[in-house]
């Protein structure tokens, strides 16, 4: 027996809207990143960034991002402590 989409949704307790809903969370992040980069960088800088990222594998890129994130957090913490002392 061939079940319809409606039967499938009914069996799993979901609506047709739920069944056909596309998860655009990844697209939203890509749009936000694109907006941020084009706002902050000119075409030449974007090309440099693209070429740089293109040379890295996923593991190296992740390590680079984590390293910078840690560096940035420590720098902010040090700046915060300097401000409190003064």
Residue 86: the pLDDT is 54
Task: Give me the pLDDT at residue 1, please.
Answer: 53
Would you state the pLDDT for residue 32? 92
**Alpha-carbon gap, residue 6 to 71, rounded angstroms:** 53
57 three-state secondary structure = coil
Report pTM: 0.57
Cα 2 from Cα 4, distance rounded (Å): 7
Domain spans in the chain, listed from the N-terminal domain onward: 1-42, 56-86
CA 51, 57, 62, 67 torsion-angle sign: negative
Give pLDDT tens digits for 12-68.
888 888 888 877 777 888 889 999 999 999 999 999 999 999 999 999 999 999 999
């Amino acid at each position: 027996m061939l079940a319809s989409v409606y039967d499938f949704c009914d069996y799993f307790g979901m609506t047709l809207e739920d069944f056909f809903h596309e998860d655009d969370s990844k697209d939203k992040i890509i749009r936000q990143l694109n907006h941020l980069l084009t706002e902050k960088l000119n075409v030449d800088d974007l090309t440099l960034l693209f070429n740089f990222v293109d040379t890295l594998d996923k593991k190296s890129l992740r390590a680079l991002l984590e390293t910078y994130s840690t560096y940035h957090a420590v720098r902010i913490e040090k700046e915060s402590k300097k401000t409190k002392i003064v």
